[in-house]
Amino acid sequence: MCMGVATANSILMVSFAREQIDEGIPAVQAAVSAGYTRMRPVLMTALAMIIGMVPMALGFGEGGEQNAPWAGPLSVVFCLLR
């Protein structure tokens, strides 16, 4: 799941930069602009995933300690924070 989100965010950022390069903007400026413009959606996606994984990681809910071991959800959360 973490790799899917990271890949999707990367593809969106690169495609945004490529569109700007096609419009005649220099590559370095297009890359900086893509990072600046796409940073908010990337952070929002990562934060939503982290918030969604916290209850599973902490084992909230009935039988939560059986349904989700710590390793899986926490690795996704820390992967997104990286």
3-56 confidence digits (pLDDT tens)? 787 888 888 889 999 999 999 999 999 999 998 988 888 888 888 887 877 777
User: For residue 11, what are the domain limits?
Assistant: 2-81
Alpha helices in the chain (DSSP H): 2-22, 27-58, 64-67, 71-81
Q: Which two tokens stand for residue 49?
A: 């995933």
Cα–Cα distance for residue pair 5/13, rounded to 1 Å: 12
Cα–Cα distance for residue pair 49/17, rounded to 1 Å: 25
Q: What is the pLDDT of residue 33?
A: 92
For the whole prediction, is pTM greater than 0.75? no
What domain count does the chain have? 1
